[in-house]
Amino acid sequence: MQILDGKITSQAIKDSIKEKVAVLTAAGKRTPHLAAILVGNSGASETYVASKVKTCAEIGFDSTLKRFNDAISEIELLNTIHDLNTDDSIDGILVQLPLPKHIAEDKVIEAIIPDKDVDGFHPVSLGRMVAGLPSFIPATPYGILLMLEHYKIETKGLHAVVIGRSNIVGKPMSILLSRNTYPGNCTVTTCHSATKNLKEICLQADIIVAALGRPEFVKADMVKEGAIVIDVGITRVPDAMKKSGFAIKGDVDFAEVSPKCSYITPVPGGVGLMTIAGLMMNTYNAYMKRNK
Ligand code: NAD
């Protein structure tokens, strides 16, 4: 069993972007600039946005964090996005989800111009991805592809089972793994909350991507010997032993599943770090496209 290490892999990607940014700076060019919007004060969202901003600083990107309290109106938020859309110094815009209930997430996502849609959630980005055209790929599935590529894992002809069909993880992951390219070329089964025989389907999988948000849901008796297991789940569960009062759990029961796998991602230290790497790649690509 080999651990697919998100720390090592994301560091390699960050180092390669950092080198490219250093070349831009040496040539007197401006550096890529990511704008992040954070609404409210959810602990998890605060943590995610803080790591994105910190990573920008590490690799030499500029970043702007716009914070609003929960009471912001939808129209105020849309106006902020409009300002960022028309600001030439900004290359990428991300809005940390989820948003408060009174704001329609789809309206907010559609308000970001596709050229700056570094989260890859805009329907134009998703449509282009489905058509196999160059596009921003949602950061988590993109990070998983980068991980498979880094470890040179052959995926052609494998049966991939994706558990979850959200627009940000499960659905794009299924589409990407089925594309006629590397990493991809898999036969893909998408499972979700209405799937009846999940265990039987998982037992046929060469690759399992677990993205359902239920801690330690995938057990050893659902995994075939030698499978590649990618754990996307991040759930905070109360843990009195931790200073923070919670532990982070993935969707896979790592202790019992890992001995059966050929490769497995840990949580934490796996896909979460790769998501940030995917976002940074998208931001760099947005910059390059805008400054061609
Ligand atoms: P979501 O709640 O939008 O979607 C969950 C999906 O799981 C749904 O499609 C649902 O049909 C399916 N599902 C739920 N229960 C199921 C069951 N018993 N059997 C089969 N399918 C079931 O979640 P999401 O936004 O896709 O996130 C999934 C998990 O991944 C969460 O834990 C989230 O925190 C985590 N996540 C991690 C990263 C990262 O960077 N590692 C990024 C995004 C999301």
Residue to mutate (ligand 1; options 105, 174, 232; most atoms within 8 A of CB): 232
Give distance in angstroms: CA of 211 to centre of ligand 1: 4
Give distance in angstroms: CA of 243 to centre of ligand 1: 26
Name which residue sits closest to atom 18 of ligand 1, judged by CA. Answer: 193
Q: How much of the chain exceeds pLDDT 70, in percent?
A: 100
Kindly compute the dihedral angle of the four CA atoms of residues 270, 271, 273, 275, in this order, to the nearest 10 degrees. 170
Give distance in angstroms: CA of 248 to centre of ligand 1: 15
What are the tens digits of pLDDT across the range 106-133?
999 999 999 999 999 999 999 999 999 9
Please report the domains of the chain, with CATH numbers, ordered by start residue: 29-113 (3.40.50.10860), 139-272 (3.40.50.720)
CA angle, 258 as apex, 254 and 260 as ends, to 5°? 140
Give distance in angstroms: CA of 169 to centre of ligand 1: 7
Confidence band, pLDDT 50/70/90 cuts, at residue 189: very high
Average confidence (pLDDT) over 219-246: 96
Name which residue sits closest to atom 42 of ligand 1, judged by CA. Answer: 140
Is 91:34 a contact under the CB 8 Å cutoff?
A: yes
Is 139:131 a contact under the CB 8 Å cutoff?
A: no
Cα separation, 214 vs 40, in Å, equals 24
Catalytic residues: 52, 96, 119
Is 17:280 a contact under the CB 8 Å cutoff?
A: yes
Residue-wise burial string across 188-221, b where 16 or more C-beta atoms lie within 10 A, e elsewhere = bbbbeeeeeebeebbeebbbbbbbbeebbbbeee
Atom of ligand 1 nearest to the CA of 214: 32
What are the tens digits of pLDDT across the range 79-107?
999 999 999 999 999 999 999 999 999 99
Q: What 3 state SS string does 193-259 have? A: CCCCCHHHHHHCCCEEEECCCCCCCECHHHCCCCCEEEECCCEEEECCCCCCCEEEECCECHHHHHH
Name which residue sits closest to atom 15 of ligand 1, judged by CA. Answer: 193
Give distance in angstroms: CA of 213 to centre of ligand 1: 4
Give distance in angstroms: CA of 76 to centre of ligand 1: 29
Q: Name the 3-class secondary structure at 32.
A: coil
Confidence band, pLDDT 50/70/90 cuts, at residue 71: very high
Residue to mutate (ligand 1; options 4, 96, 109, 192; most atoms within 8 A of CB): 192
Ligand 1: lining residues by beta carbon, under 6 Å: 140, 163-166, 168-170, 191-193, 195, 198, 211-214, 232-235, 271-272, 275
Name which residue sits closest to atom 3 of ligand 1, judged by CA. Answer: 166
What are the tens digits of pLDDT across the range 238-266?
999 999 999 999 999 999 999 999 999 99
Interstrand relation of 207-210 and 228-231 (parallel, antiparallel or unpaired): parallel
- pTM for the model stands at 0.97
Name which residue sits closest to atom 17 of ligand 1, judged by CA. Answer: 193
Residue to mutate (ligand 1; options 166, 189, 190; most atoms within 8 A of CB): 166
Average confidence (pLDDT) over 137-154: 98
Q: What is the pLDDT of residue 258?
A: 98
Cα separation, 274 vs 290, in Å, equals 24
Cα separation, 68 vs 18, in Å, equals 30
Q: What is the pLDDT of residue 292?
A: 79
Cα separation, 88 vs 74, in Å, equals 23
Is residue 16 scored above 90 in pLDDT? yes
